Amino acid sequence: MPSLVGGYRASRALTPLLLSERQLSRELNRERLRADRRQIPFCLIDVVLAPENRRPRDVKRLARLLHRRLRTTDTLGHRGRVTVGVLLTDTPEQGGRIVVDELQELLLDARLDCDLELYAYDPDAWQQQQLFDPPDDHQPPSGHLTPPQPLAARRRRVAKRLVDVVGSSLGLLFASIPIALACVAIRCTSAGPAIFRQVREGADGKPFTIYKLRTMRCDAEHHQANLRQLSERDGPAFKIKDDPRITSVGKWLRATCIDELPQLVNVLIGQMSLVGPRPLPWAESRAVATWQRRRLDVKPGITGSWQTSKHESITFDDWMRMDLRYIDRGSNWLDMKLIAKTMIVPVKARGNH
């Protein structure tokens, strides 16, 4: 690809604000030694130009744009033929995610089509050598916010997905009759559809439609603002134990958790998992604190740590910390334990507690 290489060399001549690959590599290694000594993490963002934006003037625009918006302590340089690296010193992973979100909006406004990939170096974690290897420009960006994970993590994801597919398939097979009877009861006792649909924020912030059996009046969401002051949950989440909008059949469906069974469809098609952080409605999820958005690193679940240990979740922040603890320490064995605990809830009719 001579034309690409030629354009890349020309772009270097036009963009003195960018370090060369060798210079940036030297800065990365220097920052790694500094981070190990001071026990302070740092981040690297790879900005990969799309094929239509690989002209020298686009690289020059990108360099100027990044220099205007980033800190003076941040370093810019070439990471490959079509990749610009942004070194964020003294920046934890969550701070890097905030910068990625801001850069995505900035590049969109500038009409520069780029893919962003975040790498975080934590001196307390395993050594991430991939951070210091130049990216392969012939391969499309993975789209993940972290470097390639160890084999054990990949095996866990595969095993978790296998459990989700098998569990949701068997669940729908056995739950089809209860769901059908519940739909009939809902239609006979209140006006409106039996299935409730709502947009919620899923993994990586992608919206999806969740399915539940309707337990409230059809106009329930329109009256939520009037009941906000009665919410028993602090933070953006809304919860009332004896919600006046719940129907008579809805109280029983919530107590037995039958209203959650249609979410097995979300699990089967890959939008949710059997176990994971509970997905919040779109508006509530977008209102959480920045550090709490790390719960979106994994697929949301039908059940999770909070659902089985509500007595430990006194505040909304406690709920979020339980979700983050599951993300950091989760395992297939823990998933099995949480599923077993969840199955006890409908037996005791405590689903709405």
Its pTM stands at 0.57
pLDDT digits (tens, 9 = 90+) for 201-238: 898 788 899 999 999 988 877 777 777 777 777 777 77
The average confidence (pLDDT) of the chain is 79
Q: Is the Cβ–Cβ distance between 144 and 154 less than 8 Å?
A: no
More confident residue, 42 or 146: 42
Most confident of 35-44, 155-164, 288-297: 155-164
Q: What percent of the chain has pLDDT over 70?
A: 82
**What CA–CA distance (Å, rounded) separates 340 from 353?**
18
- The pLDDT value recorded for residue 94 is 78
Report the amino acid identity of residue 127: Q
* 37's tokens: 């000594």
pLDDT digits (tens, 9 = 90+) for 73-89: 788 998 877 788 999 98
Residue 139 pLDDT class (50, 70, 90 cuts): very low
* 242's tokens: 């004896």
**What CA–CA distance (Å, rounded) separates 215 from 253?**
7
**pLDDT reading at 348 higher than 70:** no
Q: Is the Cβ–Cβ distance between 54 and 82 less than 8 Å?
A: yes
pLDDT digits (tens, 9 = 90+) for 225-278: 777 777 777 777 777 777 888 898 998 998 888 999 999 999 999 999 999 999
**pLDDT reading at 9 higher than 50:** no
